């Protein structure tokens, strides 16, 4: 009888372990998988394929209906068009990735400062969320470089997984290097912008490279563990899935894709006193506003009194659309002060 009990317990333990491992993998797979068609959900068709810097719309309204009220979809985008864009290839600092696809829109003069603009998880440079801030900067005379990071858009496919910025930051720094080496701009005249999880990529890039002159992050996260829990809550998934988060992160590490290896909140501390703009929508449920206040508390250790810009009308990555005039003014003033006037 004792032997049977022990065998039964062992079998149950094995089944539980295998079940936990399988569940952890499925969670990791759902959170990390991206599509090169600019879609963050498996099985979805391409998004935003008609969008270019010369003109764009919210070409897939269903993507924002659940997040944004109709008022955010009525602004006049014509003043922000960038018709003189060039298709270019820029390097990643990860030599195995090769050339990234990008659009380069020159500034007012050959010496005008420039900004690298980085999209988020499952997105691409065609996304209206990055095109509008890019158009604001271009209208003020800045050069703008919109990139597709690895595994997304038209850039090379590595493993079709987003690594939480811990690999993608090398793509951001490679794009910055291109502006310095190929366009002849001093590093002090080049900044970086990131939205949603792409904000994690730019925060890590700035924290890792002390020559990054200025960083603007919109709707990013400070800790990937908290972000995953927030996504589970936002999608109204069962709370017990939180038990799988540690296992999912172990799976990620075993697959060489550990999103916890370089926490953005630690990199925010490494930015020190360099110019750092933090923007977040108060109504954001996808990546809640506490991420902005968490990051800001770290920045305030180096910059006493530092405050983020928390936008009352904004859901996730909506601030540029629901508070357009103020967003443009703040964004342009931030980079003009940090990099010099165009």
Per-residue pLDDT tens over the stretch 265-304: 999 999 999 999 999 999 998 899 999 999 999 999 999 9
In a domain, 16, yes or no: no
In a domain, 304, yes or no: yes
Collect all residues with Cβ–Cβ distance below 8 Å to 138 and sequence separation of at least 6: 53, 80, 82, 105, 107, 144
Residue 272's pLDDT is what? 95
In a domain, 90, yes or no: yes
Mean pLDDT of 293-321: 95
Instruction: Using a pLDDT cut of 70, give the percent of the chain over it.
Output: 87
Residue 255's pLDDT is what? 76
Digit-coded pLDDT (tens) for 114-139: 999 999 988 999 999 999 999 999 99
Lowest mean pLDDT among 1-10, 250-259, 311-320: 1-10
Collect all residues with Cβ–Cβ distance below 8 Å to 265 and sequence separation of at least 6: 222, 223, 294, 295, 298
Residue 186 pLDDT greater than 60, yes or no: yes
Mean pLDDT of 192-213: 97
In a domain, 30, yes or no: no
Which is more confident, 298 or 161? 298
Residue 45 pLDDT greater than 90, yes or no: no
Could you tell me the two tokens for 102?
């990008």
In a domain, 65, yes or no: yes
- Evaluate whether 34 touches 158 at the Cβ level (below 8 Å): no
Show the DSSP H helices in 33-155 as ranges: 62-65, 128-139
> Is the pTM of the predicted complex or chain greater than 0.75?
yes
In a domain, 112, yes or no: yes
Lowest mean pLDDT among 38-52, 98-112, 135-149, 205-219: 38-52
| Angle of helix 2-32 versus helix 224-234 axis, rounded to 10 | 90
Residue 35 pLDDT greater than 90, yes or no: no
Could you list the residue range(s) of the whole structural domain that residue 300 is in? 53-223+263-339
Residue 331 pLDDT greater than 70, yes or no: yes
Total tally of structural domains belonging to the chain? 1
CATH of the domain at 61: 3.40.50.1820
Could you tell me the two tokens for 129?
């969320």
Mean pLDDT of 82-87: 96
In a domain, 40, yes or no: no
- Evaluate whether 101 touches 155 at the Cβ level (below 8 Å): yes
State the chain's mean pLDDT as an integer. 88
Residue 6's pLDDT is what? 66
In a domain, 175, yes or no: yes
Q: How many CB atoms lie within 10 A of CB 29?
A: 15
């Amino acid at each position: 009888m004792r032997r049977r009990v022990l065998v039964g317990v062992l079998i149950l333990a094995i089944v539980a372990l295998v079940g936990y491992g399988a569940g952890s993998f499925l969670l990791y797979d759902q959170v990390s998988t991206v599509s090169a068609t600019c879609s963050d959900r498996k099985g979805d068709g391409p998004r935003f394929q008609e969008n270019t810097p010369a003109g764009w719309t919210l070409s897939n309204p269903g993507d924002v209906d659940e997040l944004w009220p109709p008022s955010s979809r009525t602004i006049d985008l014509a003043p922000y068009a960038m018709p003189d864009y060039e298709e270019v290839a820029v390097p990643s600092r990860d030599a195995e990735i090769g050339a990234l696809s990008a659009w380069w829109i020159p500034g007012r003069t050959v010496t005008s400062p420039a900004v690298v603009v980085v999209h988020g998880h499952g997105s691409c440079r065609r996304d209206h969320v990055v095109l509008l801030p890019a158009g604001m900067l271009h209208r003020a005379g800045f050069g703008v470089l919109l990139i597709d990071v690895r595994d997304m858009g038209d850039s090379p496919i590595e493993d079709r997984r987003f690594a939480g910025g811990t690999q993608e930051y090398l793509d951001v720094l490679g794009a910055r290097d291109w502006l310095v080496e190929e366009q002849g701009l001093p590093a002090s005249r080049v900044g970086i912008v990131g939205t949603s999880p792409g904000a994690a990529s730019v925060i890590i890039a700035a924290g890792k490279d002390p020559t990054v002159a200025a960083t603007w992050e919109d709707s990013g996260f400070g800790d990937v563990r908290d972000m995953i829990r927030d996504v589970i809550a936002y999608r109204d998934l069962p709370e017990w899935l939180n038990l799988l988060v540690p296992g999912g992160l172990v799976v990620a590490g075993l697959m060489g894709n550990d999103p916890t290896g370089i926490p953005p909140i630690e990199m925010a501390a490494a930015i020190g006193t360099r110019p750092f703009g933090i923007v977040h929508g108060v109504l954001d449920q996808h990546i809640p506003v506490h991420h902005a206040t968490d990051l800001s508390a770290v920045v305030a250790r180096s910059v006493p009194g530092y405050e983020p810009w928390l936008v009352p009308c904004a859901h996730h990555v909506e601030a540029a659309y629901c508070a357009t005039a103020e967003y443009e003014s703040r964004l342009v003033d931030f980079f003009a002060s940090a990099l010099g006037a165009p």
